[in-house]
Amino acid sequence: MRILLLSMPDSFEHTPTIAVRMPNGALASLAGNLDPHHHVAIADLVLAQSSVRRTVEQLMGQHQPDLVGLSVMTFQRATARRVIALVRSLNPNVRIVVGGYDPSLAPDAWDHPDLGVDAIVRGEGDVTFRELVRAWEAGQPLTGIAGLLFRDGDQFRATPRREAARLDRGDVRPPSRSARTLSGYTLMGRPIDVVETSRGCTFDCSFCSIIEMRGRNFFRFSIERVIDDIRDAEARGARSIFLVDDNITLDVERFESLCHAIIAAGLNHLDYLVQGMTAPIATRGETLAPLMRRAGFRYVFLGIENVLDEDLVFLKARAKNSRMNAAGRTNTALTAVNILRRHGMLVVGGLIVGNPGDKRESVAANLEFARRYVDWPYIQHPTPYPGTPMTRDFQQRGLVVNERPDDYDGTTAVTRGEHLDPEEVEFMRWQAERWMKVRHIPAVFRHDPWFVVRNGRRMLAHTFRGSTWRSMFGLEDEHDVFQRYRAIRTRERQYVDWPDPLERLPAPVH
Ligand code: B12
Ligand code: SF4
């Protein structure tokens, strides 16, 4: 079969495409797990953000796919619908499969007959997609394939859920990066790739989709496989590697072994990025952090979530962000940040502000923490992604004020609290964050001077979009600038010049 796999062009406020364009790890993993006789092409549309329609038309012409698969997050839903409609207009007989977090957790949003989806893969797709393609190729029924919803006449039929893949037993084969057809992946000028070392998490933070997606479990690839995978990424040009594990810090000993293996394999000249919890870094950081630095880790995304205890309780993120000592349970965010920075790493600070009980002072305290201790802010608002405990809670309490999934990008406040208007929280975050981002430029300049020389002006223009000379001299209210910025952002979201087939119908959110 001829298969085209697409990831969506929609990007996130804190990872603007001028500086960050990463490959979607799911698509290479799917390609690597298909039977080898298929012709597979991958296109990450973030690489063609300004020419999505033309790129899809070219890809359809060039690869003549029998099947198009799309990987979709919730805020990319409307874009995906337009892409599907465009693909169908180019080839009405092509089969359409959707997968990833949104189709898995909100399948109802994908089964409308006008949309034209043939199958929805729920949860991990490596094995399910392989079996689906095999069955279609052989003209066999789909009923025996776990983890699927498929169109049967006017209806969708669901098969039983699929168990999470046992990575330790070799259920998932290595990714196929050679299937990628577009180029230009970058992290601030350095070619970047993504590598998985494990999947899953055993925590249950209320805002996170991971548990509903795959259950509470944690499976590891062998260290040898990870090293081979990094080598493959390097051989294809990567100079920075993002380890996209859900939670690599669940097993600190293994993480340390991985660092040793990276050093032993001579792969520590690459830059690494990783995300982790604060508690293990605060507890084990004195040995882990120097080792990470030697292995080449540069950026560590810390899921700090919030610096106030009551907010951590609400987010169910207290256990991963605190530890017991003589003084009782204490927050580990600051200790983790200090250890990482002391060992020469940069902290990307993941915080969530605008929780139901938040007052101005609570939001301000978190923003102040970020301003003082974080190198790159990654501050978001509570977002009701499908299937999370937080979403159920917000819905029951009637706190969701915006039901448009396109706005569920994390930096649009779509829920209200008891004390604060969502727009005011969003304004506070936006106003504070822009300056934090400017402060990071010297660190980038020291590492990648040419990138800053070439793109510094555009990066600043992106960060401060909505500003004018008048606003810069304080002659205009910042709220007016904020409204202009929001209008620009809304326009930016129209990535595909093609009508949305469901636009006039009420869009289901969950
Ligand atoms: C790494 C990561 C990122 C990286 C992305 C790097 C990249 N280009 O891949 C960065 C940091 C940039 C990022 C950003 C964001 N992310 Co993110 N991210 C993740 C994370 C940690 C891992 C995803 C991953 O690569 N896993 C490894 C791959 C192999 O697994 P997978 O993606 O699940 O794919 C499997 C299945 O889903 C399925 N599948 C996927 N696509 C398809 C397609 C087809 C056709 C088929 C058949 C199957 C299939 O098969 C795959 C293989 O088994 C997850 C989960 C988590 N613990 O937080 C969040 C997560 C995916 N991110 C999420 C979000 C919302 C975002 C942001 C909007 C920011 C935010 N608010 O958190 C931005 C937007 C990104 C953008 N496009 O600009 C949400 C998605 C929720 C939702 N319902 O949409 C998650 C689940 C976290 C959460 N909040 O719960 N993210
Ligand atoms: S620790 Fe991270 S991956 Fe695990 S449930 Fe919490 S946010 Fe999700």
Under the banding of pLDDT at 50, 70 and 90, the label for residue 325 is confident
Q: Is the pLDDT of residue 510 over 60?
A: no
Structure tokens at 367: 């923003």
Instruction: State the DSSP string of 304-330.
Output: EE-SSHHHHHHTT-SGGGEEEETTEEE
Tokens 């910042």 correspond to what residue?
Answer: 478
Greater confidence (68 vs 418) lies with 68
Q: What pLDDT shows up at residue 326?
A: 76
Quick check: CB of 203 below 6 Å from ligand 2? yes
Q: What DSSP letter does each residue of 415-458 carry, written as one string?
A: B--SSS-HHHHHHHHHHHHHHHHHHTHHHHHHH-HHHHHHHHHH
Cβ contact 105:209 at 8 Å: yes
Mutate to test the pocket of ligand 2, among 218, 249, 320, 383 (most ligand atoms within 8 A of CB): 320
pLDDT band at 204 (very low <50, low <70, confident <90, very high): very high
Relative to the alpha carbon of 34, which ligand is closest? 1
What residue owns the CA closest to ligand 1's atom 46?
Answer: 99
Q: What pLDDT score does 481 carry?
A: 97
510 vs 393: CA distance, rounded Å? 13
- pLDDT tens by residue, 248-295: 999 999 999 999 999 999 999 999 999 999 999 999 999 999 999 999
**pLDDT for the residue numbered 402:** 96
**What pLDDT, on the 0 to 100 scale, is given for residue 274?**
98
Q: Is the pTM of this model over 0.75?
A: yes
C-beta 279 within 6 A of ligand 2: no
Summarize pLDDT for 229-245 with one digit per residue, the tens. Answer: 999 999 999 999 999 99
Please state the separation of Cα 334 from the chain's center in Å: 25
Which atom of ligand 2 is found nearest the CA of 247? Answer: 3
User: Please, which residues have CB within 8 angstroms of residue 504's CB and are 6 or more apart in sequence?
Assistant: none
Span from the CA of 203 to the centroid of ligand 2 (angstroms): 6
Phi, psi at residue 80, to the nearest 5°? -60, -40
The per-residue pLDDT for 506 is 47
- Is residue 509's pLDDT more than 80? no
CA of 173 to the centre of ligand 2 (A): 25
The pLDDT value given to residue 504: 57
pLDDT tens digits along 8-27? 999 999 999 999 999 999 99
Judge if the beta carbon of residue 208 lies within 6 A of ligand 2.
yes
Whose C-alpha lies nearest to ligand 1, atom 1? 244
- Cβ–ligand 2 distance for 320 under 6 Å, the answer yes
For atom 76 of ligand 1, the residue with the nearest CA is 11
Testing ligand 1's pocket by substitution, the residue of 30, 167, 199, 495 carrying the most ligand atoms inside 8 A of its CB is: 30
Mean pLDDT of the chain: 95
pLDDT, position 420: 93
Closest ligand 2 atom, residue 320 Cα: 1
Q: What is the mean pLDDT of residues 152-181?
A: 96
The minimum-distance atom of ligand 2 relative to the CA of 207 is: 7
Name all residues whose Cβ lies below 6 A of ligand 1.
Answer: 10-12, 15, 22-26, 29-30, 69-71, 73-75, 97, 99-102, 105, 121, 124-126, 129, 194, 196, 208-210, 244, 246, 380, 385-386, 409-410
Least confident range of 135-139, 455-459, 469-473: 469-473
Task: Please give the pLDDT value at position 262.
Answer: 98
**Residue 145: how many other CB atoms lie within 10 Å:** 22
Residue 508 has a pLDDT of: 45
Which of 247, 312, 380 has most ligand 2 atoms within 8 Å of its beta carbon, as the pocket-test mutant? 247
